[in-house]
Amino acid sequence: MLNLPLSLQAWNTEHFSSALKQEIAALDPQLLPLQQGLQHSSYANGDNISAVILNTADSGNFIEVKVGIFYSGIIAGCNCADDPSPVDEINEYCELLFSIDKQNATATVALSD
């Protein structure tokens, strides 16, 4: 479970997008389904995550937010032990759906279709 209290507090204000982006950037990347969103690499690197708010909706008890996530991945296991070439990072993008409970700021996140 994620907890996004700043985003809940900023809901319906001009600060919502920045609050949510700040909280997403502070999350442990292991809590996000970045690995499942890979398209060009084999291992998600969540060190530098950048979020773009695509859509928001008020669905009664929940705030539904579709977020585009830019991050990087690597192709693991393709270098020989004596290969001096560095591991290259590949840009990745996926869309996530955050559902924030309006009562307690707990949230779930899933890979968007």
**What is the domain extent for residue 17?**
2-111
Structural domain count of the chain: 1
53-106: per-residue pLDDT in tens?
999 999 999 999 999 999 999 887 655 666 656 667 889 999 999 999 999 999
User: What is d(CA 30, CA 16) in angstroms, rounded to the nearest whole number?
Assistant: 23
Of 11-15, 23-27, 63-67, 80-84, least confident by mean pLDDT is 80-84
User: What is d(CA 106, CA 98) in angstroms, rounded to the nearest whole number?
Assistant: 10
- Reduced to 3 states (helix: H, G, I; strand: E, B; else coil), residue 83 is coil
Domain with residue 52: its CATH number is: 3.10.450
